[in-house]
Amino acid sequence: MYVRVIPNNKGKKKTFFCDLVESYRNENGEPRQRTVVKLGQFEAEYIPYLKAAFAKDSDPAEVFSREAGKYSESR
């Protein structure tokens, strides 16, 4: 599972919609993604915390430091 981050193009600037997404393969073996839960709208400063909280294979602190600069510079 991972956090999908979608920029908010219509509302408040520097906000993002976040979904918790699960990857799977359908009966034909093709990769697909399904939304497990819609987490809601977040400001850019909270995105690294979300990604670190749902990090699967990495240390959460490592994920946070890697993601911290990505969303503060956008928009």
What does the pLDDT profile of the chain (75 residues) look like in tens digits? 899 999 999 888 889 999 999 999 999 999 999 999 999 999 999 998 888 888 876 777 787 877 777 776 544
Predicted local confidence at residue 55, as pLDDT: 80
Cα(14)–Cα(73) distance, rounded to whole angstroms? 9
Could you give the 3-state DSSP secondary structure of residue 57? coil
Alpha helix ranges (H) inside 1-75: 47-53, 60-67
Cα(17)–Cα(37) distance, rounded to whole angstroms? 12
The structure's pTM equals: 0.75
Predicted local confidence at residue 19, as pLDDT: 96
Predicted local confidence at residue 75, as pLDDT: 46
